[in-house]
Amino acid sequence: MGLYLLKRLGGLLATLVAASIVIFLALEVLPGDAAEMQLGQNATPAQVLALRTELRLNRPAVERYLVWIGGMARGDFGQSYSYEVPVSGLIEQRLQVTIPLAFLAMALTILLALPAGIFAADHHGRPSDVAVSGLTQLGLAIPNFWLAILLVLLFAVALHLFPSGGFPGWNHGLWPGLRALLLPAVSLAAVQAAILTRITRSAVLEVLGEDFVRTARAKGLSRPATLWRHVLRNALISVVTIMGLQFAYLVAGTIVIENVFYLPGLGRLVFQAIANRDLVVVKNAVLLLAAMVMVINFIVDLLYAVIDPRLRISRP
């Protein structure tokens, strides 16, 4: 267990460092002069020079990279060019929208997909299974932002049940905040739920075909009892893998969905920062989004070890 954990932790750190290098190269080295790029073509040479000094562009790239990472470790993400505030504060504020949104969407995904997938597998080949499969095909095909627009049309424009966009903040209580996040979360969750339903269904079906399921039945366990006690945990191994990857897509999806609903989250921040050519914000926010994805995948790796005893033993 210790070795497994250590290996995974090492993997996480290595991926994080690699991601930061890629982002740094992509946003600071590849474009050539980041200052000129940020200021656009109408900037005076004096302005460019000033920004160049501020961004330490006259220093070697390695040094700038180390300063960036070192600052991050202290919680200093630099200064936003367009918002003229520290990026750390900006990001912290935006995360209050994005993190609840991502977790709400993931919760909806799991709540929808696990029961639906298990149900479909248990009714394998029957009309209800075919119906679930048809629904998942539909879920896979509908773009999340279009679903968001349709939901707005139905629940905001026609029925006036939910706001069509915007976020009131958490200081008005839990419900107004959740209410603003519910439609975005549903639009994010629909596609992922369709994927996870299919994965769950095939994972359960695969385990149902295993010999130990027959053993369990031969012991006298009923079909439902076998499903709960022996099949589900085994099926969960592949389901959890996909859930980790899905979180990545959810986090990425917030970029689009936050724009549909005008939610002041991290995704919208990245998007606006690009429009404003605010590279300091883009750099940090993209790394943070990537880091969220990687940390989730790390947690998934740990979950494996909890689920599967074969991983707990240090391998020779």
Partner 1 sequence: MALLEVEDLRVTLPTARGPAAALRGVSFSLEAGEALGLVGESGSGKSLTALALLGLLPEGAAVGGHIRFAGRDLLALPERELCRLRGNRIAMIFQEPMTALNPLQTIGRQIAEPLRLHRALSRSAAADEAIRLLGRVGLKPAAGRARAYPHQLSGGQRQRAMIAMALACAPDLLVADEPTTALDVTVARQSLDLMAALAAESGMALLLISHDLGIIAETTRRMLVMYGGQVVESGPTAAVFAALAHPYTRGLFAARPRLDGMPGRLPTIPGSVPDLADLPPGCPFAGRCALAIAACTAAEPPAVDIGPGHQARCIRLDQQPPAGDPVAGGPA
Partner 2 sequence: MTPARASTIPGMSLGRGLRHPSLCIGAVLTLALVVMALLSLVWTPWPPDGIDIPHRLLSPGAHHWLGTDQFGRDVLSMVMAGAQTSLMVGVLAVAIGIGLGVLLGASAAALGGICEEALMRLTDFTFAFPAILTAIMLAAIIGPGTLTVVFAIGIFNVPVFARLTRGAAKAVWARDYILAARAAGKGRFAITIEHVLPNIMAPILVQGTIQFATAILAEAALSYLGLGTMPPQPSWGRMLFEAQTFLFTAPRLAVFPGVAIALAVLGLNLLGDGLRDLADPRLRRRR
Q: Which residues bind partner 2 (CB under 8 A)?
A: 11, 15, 18-19, 22-23, 26-27, 30-31, 124, 137-138, 140-146, 149-150, 152-153, 157, 164, 202, 205-206, 208-209, 245, 248-249, 251-253, 255-256, 259-260, 270-271, 274, 277, 279, 282, 286, 289-290, 293-294, 297
- The tokens for 169 are 């903040």
Q: For residue 299, give every residue at least 6 positions away whose Cβ sits within 8 Å of its Cβ, in sequence order, or none.
A: 244
233 binds, among partner 2, partner 1, none (CB under 5 to 8 A by kind): partner 1
Residue 217 found at the interface with partner 1 (CB under 8 A):
yes
Minimum distance, C-beta of residue 214 to partner 1, in the bound complex (Å): 6
How would DSSP label each residue in 10-48? Answer: HHHHHHHHHHHHHHHIIIIITTS-HHHHHH-TT--HHHH
* Residue closer to partner 1, measured from CB, 152 or 213: 213
Task: Give the number of residues in contact with partner 1, rule: CB under 8 A.
Answer: 23
Residue 313 found at the interface with partner 1 (CB under 8 A):
yes
Give the residue from 204, 215, 7 showing the smallest Cα distance to 115. Answer: 204
Kind plus residue range of the DSSP H or E element containing 208:
helix 174-208
Longest dimension (CA), the chain: 83
220 binds, among partner 1, partner 2, none (CB under 5 to 8 A by kind): partner 1
307 binds, among partner 1, partner 2, none (CB under 5 to 8 A by kind): partner 1
* Residue closer to partner 1, measured from CB, 234 or 297: 234
How would DSSP label each residue in 130-147? Answer: HHHHHHHHHHHHS-HHHH
Residue 316 found at the interface with partner 1 (CB under 8 A):
no
Give CA angle at 24 (22, 29), nearest 5°: 105
Residue 314 found at the interface with partner 1 (CB under 8 A):
no
Whole-angstrom Cα distance, residue 190 to residue 200? Answer: 15
x-marked contacts with partner 1 along 110-129 as a string, rule CB under 8 A:
--------------x-----
Residues 133 and 194: beta-carbon distance below 8 Å: no
Binding residues vs partner 1 (CB under 8 A): 124, 210-212, 214-223, 229-230, 233-234, 307-310, 313
